[in-house]
Structures are given as C-alpha cells and as structure tokens.
Structure 1
Amino acid sequence: MQITKTLIVSAMLAASAASFAHGEKEHAKGAVPMKMEQKEWGIGGHSNAVKRTVEIRMTDNMRFTPDLVEVKQGETIRFVHVNGGKVMHEFVLGTKKELDEHAALMKKFPNMEHDEPYMAHVGAGKKGEIVWNFNKVGEFDFACLLPGHYEAGMVGKIKVVAK
C-alpha cells in the first residue's frame, strides 16, 4: 500500500513538474488569450496603443542593455527582447518583492513554465516581445529569473514619471 501511494504521489509530482516545464521552448504568444490583470507596475497593453518600442538586449554576461528605461505614466511600450547569448533568458517586469519571490520559486522549480503578459522567455539567438501599459507612477524592476541569472545581476529598472 505504501509503495502504491508513493508511486501515485511521484506520478502526480512528475505531471505537475511537466506542466511547468520551461526548457528551451519559447512561449506561444497569442495561442491562448492572456488575462490582463492590473499589477502594481501596470497592466498588459494592446498593440494598437503602443507609443514607442524599446529594444532590450540580453547577453550571457547576465546583463540587460539598457538596464534603465524611463516612461511616462499612461504610456504603452512595446519591449522587443533580443537574446544575443547562447542560453535562454527571460524578461520579467515586477516589483523587487515580486521578483525576489518568483526567483525563489524558480530555484525550487527551475523548469517552471509561466506565461503572463509581463514576461518574455527568449531562446538563444531569438527575439521576443511584450506590450505593457505603465498606468502607475513609480520605480519598478525587471529581471531574468532563471536560476543563477538573477543572482548574477541580470536586472534593470523602469522609472515611470507622471505625465
């Protein structure tokens, strides 16, 4: 009986881990409609509302360029993420607290899959993008939360100023 329970629990955990698989797979934007949820740092934007495009380069030296972006409150930005490296990188918007919590979760579940409008997962040599509306004033963060990348300093800031 104990072996059966152990096998069932193991199978459930394996299935759960598989559903969070990250791997080298890029997320299919638009395949399933993303929920647009208000966050402290804004809300997912619509392509037809984009005011400007900001290219963010990612490299294997664990840096973003630029690592500071200033936007005006209410501005909708298209971020184009260019991964010039040989490994997967990601761009996740949030508060420092949210990013710290997510990074800790990524350490426990390094293959975790997630697809939120404030995240882009970009394979080596590929491009990705997100569209985000910064409807709240403040300083927010972005980071690559893949294990080891965040700790190596792959972070940046978004400064949202009043109109």
Structure 2
Amino acid sequence: MHRLFVAVPPPPHVRDALLAAMGGVAGARWQRDDQLHSTLRFIGEVDRHAGQDIAAALGGVHHPGFDATLSAPGVFDKRGRIDTLWIGVAPYPPIAALHHKVDAALRRAGVPPDTRAYHPHITIARFGREQVGAAGFVPAVPLTGIGFRVDHFALYESTLGHDGADYRIIERYSLD
C-alpha cells in the first residue's frame, strides 16, 4: 500500500524563509525542509495499481501557472486543541482552481471526492497534547508577501516513521 497526496512543492527561497521563521512555540514539532509543501489533495492509502491510475489521471490536469505569495499564519485544531500551525498561501482563486482540477482528475481515477473545505497553506509545525502560544505565533522573520511561481505540482508518497513523515515525490506535473 502507498500513502499518497498531491501538493505544490515550494521553491528553495520559500523553504529557506519558512525554516528561518520557525521557533518560539513551546511543544512545536517543526517541519523539516523536505516536509514543506502546500497540499492540493490528500489521497490516503492505495494499492500499486490505483497509484498508477492516479499518476496517469494527474497527467491530464491542465492549468496555467500562476504567482503565489505567503500570507498570514494560522492554526487548525481538532476538538478545540491546536494540532497544526501553518502559513497561508495566496491568492486563493488560482490555487483553489488547481485544487478543483486535481480533485476532478482523482475522482475520474476512482478516488472519492474530498468533502473538507480547502484552505491553501504550508504546515510548519505540528503539536502533541501540549502547545503554548501557537495561536499567537509571530514568525521570527517576516513571511507575508514572499512570492514564488507555481509552475508545477507533484504526486507524493508519505511514509510514517518515528521522526514524523518522510515524503518522496513520485511524479511532477508541469502547469501550462
């Protein structure tokens, strides 16, 4: 079985800025350089044949490249407990349109539709049971407005381990 997701890998200058901004939040498990990405669609566990169908379906996604910027930090919670600290990705319309096209391609490959609201972001930290001040996180260096060109997206495989997840790009897909 393969645990898959589709994401936009940020370029080196964005990853460097994100890494430099990390720190100052008790209990945070900060993401490593190779873990930084903006998820377009989580797929989950699939067998090899389904993975091949997914990879082929994603090759049919046509979308223009676009310029994006980092935006304000935010958090996700589960049952009132913050579990994720992230930096937003803007503008919403072009990345949301890409998300919808990826989701449509995955549905054609037999993957059930995603029913969760889509919020473009890059996760920078995760939390266990205890976190202090994550909701009021102020990056160590300014991030808002750091721009980058989105000219491709990728299919990733995720392997869970003791030190968090390891991500490997299986296939890259160029945008028009």
Superposed pair shares fold, TM > 0.5: no
The higher-RCO structure (CA 8 Å, 6+ apart) is 2
Q: Name the TM-score, length of structure 2 as normaliser.
A: 0.24
In our comparison, the structure showing a higher alpha carbon Rg is: 1
Structure richer in helix, relative to its length: 2
Structure richer in strand, relative to its length: 2
